[in-house]
Amino acid sequence: MVGARPLPRGRSLRRTVAQVVGSRWSLLGLLALIALFIVVMASLQGVSGTRMLGLVVRGVLLGGVLALGALGVTLVFGVLKMANFAHGDYMTLGAYLGLVVMTLLPRGAPILGLGFGYEFVVALLVVMPLVGLIAYGLDRLTFRRLRQRRSAPVMMAMAALGLAFGVRSIVYMVFGADFAFYYQGRARPVVELFAGVRVRTDQLFILGAAVLLIVLVYLLLERSKTGKAMRAMADNPDLARISGIPTERVVFWTWMVGGALAGAGGMLYGLDVQLRPEMGWWLLLPLFAAVILGTIGNVYGALLGAFTMGIVWQVSSAFVNPAYGPAAAFVVMILALLVRPQGLMGGGR
């Protein structure tokens, strides 16, 4: 299994201890400890329960966006066996392409008590396949050549790094380094969820859209033939090829799905906060933290990891500078790696 290391040999007691320490339950225990630590720290700082609850809710909302990115990362890793460091920048690309589409459309009135009009939804539907196609096109230009040459995975990661910086530099050139907003100076309605926790209706839309997309991906993977082929490729690429699975078509769909989710994630994140050329790079760390926590290559693990990291990111701001949110996700990842390198859903022990 990916990331797994052989059990330490030696006396059986040591082995038993290692098994217990590295078990799934102890990783869950670690997460529980972290949650406890956060609650204790927050109560020491006199953070109110309502505020904590609000942060958890915000964390879940952020987790939805992270999940869209993390699904793409883990799918690409599963099928193509490469860490795509350009994924965050694909999210940025999606966010800015959405901005372009929206400026082309006439502005509509806000729909259904939300803070945006129909044009955002249209842009979302246009951007998703577009980013998917771009991701596939870039794969044709770069990663495919490396795959055909049977290059080491690390060379692909390096090419991904080159793509990440290349995509970002284009965003910089076209849009400049400043913030951008989908809507400036428009009212963003707020509703009270429960017990004094207030969220913007837009954020509910973001979570709803994220959950809908996740369900669609689930159906694709579990029900469709393409999804089955993707899972087969992830499990055993050689066997998949021998069984007559059209590898190139699976690669195409992997990038389409991964890219579309990245594009959607970027747009939804941009709707919640703002657009910046570095937004995707900053998301990359929590994305990979989520994927690694939930076992790299595992779709359900990525979902679990994404919501965990979203909550950690938000809740940690109760007692440390909010700027450290992504770093908090990183620290949790390092702790998880120490306990169980193969992640929550990994095999063994």
Partner 1 sequence: MDPTVLPRTVLLAVPLYLLLVVVLRGRSALVKHAVAVVAALAVALGLTVLLPAGTLSYVVTFLLMGSVYAVLTLGLNVQWGYTGLFNIGIAAFFAIGAFTSALFTLRMPTGSLAAFTQQAFGLGAPFWVGLLAAGVVAGALALLVGGPTLRLRGDYLAIATIGIAELVRLVFQNERWLANGPQPLRGLPQPLSCLSGAGCDWLPGFVNAFFAPLAPRDYPYVYVAIVALVLFLVFVGLERAIRSPWGRVLRAVREDEDAAAMSGKNVAAFRMQAFVVGAVIMGMGGSLYAHYVVAIDYGHFDPLYGTFLIWVMLMLGGSGNNRGAVLGALLVWAIWTGASFAVDALRPTLAAISPDLPQRGPYVRFLLISLLMLFIVLYRPRGVLPEEKVVSLTRD
**Does 148 contact partner 1 by CB under 8 A?**
no
- Dist CA 66 CA 77 (whole Å): 16
Nearest to 272 by CA among 303, 300, 314: 314
Please report whether residue 145 would count as binding partner 1 according to CB under 8 A: yes
Q: Identify whether the C-beta of residue 17 lies closer than 8 Å to the C-beta of residue 26.
A: no
Scanning the structure block, which residue is given the tokens 């939805």? 64
Q: How far apart are CA 155 and CA 164, in angstroms?
A: 14
Identify which of residues 102 and 287 has a Cβ nearer to partner 1 in the complex: 287
Q: Residue 348 interacts with partner 1 (CB under 8 A)?
A: no
Contact 253, 226 (CB under 8 A): yes
Measured CA to CA in angstroms, residue 252 lies from 170, 226, 293 at distances of 24, 10, 27
Measuring CA to CA, which residue among 307, 313, 303, 234 is closest to residue 273?
313
Stretch that binds partner 1, among 13-21, 92-100, 151-159, 206-214 (CB under 8 A): 151-159
Give the Cα separation of 264 and 72 in Å (integer).
Answer: 11
Q: Which residues from 155-214 bind partner 1, rule CB under 8 A?
A: 155, 157-159, 161-163, 165-166, 168-170, 172-173, 176-177
Q: How far is the CB of 166 from partner 1 (least distance, A)?
A: 4
User: How far is residue 103 CA from its own chain's centroid?
Assistant: 27
CB of 204 to partner 1, least distance (A): 30
Cβ at position 286, least distance to partner 1 in Å: 10
Q: Does 323 participate in binding partner 1 (rule CB under 8 A)?
A: yes
Tell me the site size for partner 1, rule CB under 8 A.
46
Q: Which of 104, 190, 219, 334 binds partner 1 (CB under 8 A)?
A: 334
Contact yes or no for 129/298 (Cβ under 8 A): no
Beta bridge partners of 190: 200
Exactly one of 153, 204, 241, 252 binds partner 1 (CB under 8 A); that residue is 153
Residue type, position 49, single letter: G
Cα atoms in the 13 Å half-sphere on the side-chain side of 76: 32
Instruction: Annotate each residue in 105-144 with x if it binds partner 1 (CB under 8 A) or - if it does not, as one string.
Output: -------------------------------------x--
Q: Which is nearer to partner 1, 32 or 334 (CB)?
A: 334
Q: Could you say which residues in the range 3-32 bind partner 1, by CB under 8 A? A: 3, 5
Q: How far is the CB of 89 from partner 1 (least distance, A)?
A: 10
Instruction: Based on the shown chain and the rule CB under 8 A, indicate whether residue 2 belongs to the binding site for partner 1.
Output: yes
Tell the smallest beta-carbon distance from residue 164 to partner 1 (Å).
Answer: 8
Q: Which two tokens stand for residue 91?
A: 């999210």
CA Rg value for the chain: 21
Task: Pick out residues in 240-299 that bind partner 1 (CB under 8 A).
Answer: 281-282, 284-285, 288-289, 292, 296
Query: How far apart are the C-alpha atoms of 241 and 235, rounded to whole Å?
Result: 11
Binding mask 66-85 for partner 1 (x = CB under 8 A): -----------------x-x
From the list 41, 146, 193, 197, which residue makes contact with partner 1 (rule: CB under 8 A)?
Answer: 146
Q: What are phi and psi of 329, to 5 degrees?
A: -60, -40
- Amino acid code (one letter) for 246: P
Residue closer to partner 1 (CB basis): 58 or 168: 168
Angle ∠(178,71,190) on CA atoms, nearest 5: 55
Q: Which residues bind partner 1 (CB under 8 A)?
A: 2-3, 5, 83, 85, 142, 145-146, 151, 153-155, 157-159, 161-163, 165-166, 168-170, 172-173, 176-177, 281-282, 284-285, 288-289, 292, 296, 321, 323-324, 326-327, 330, 333-334, 337-338, 341
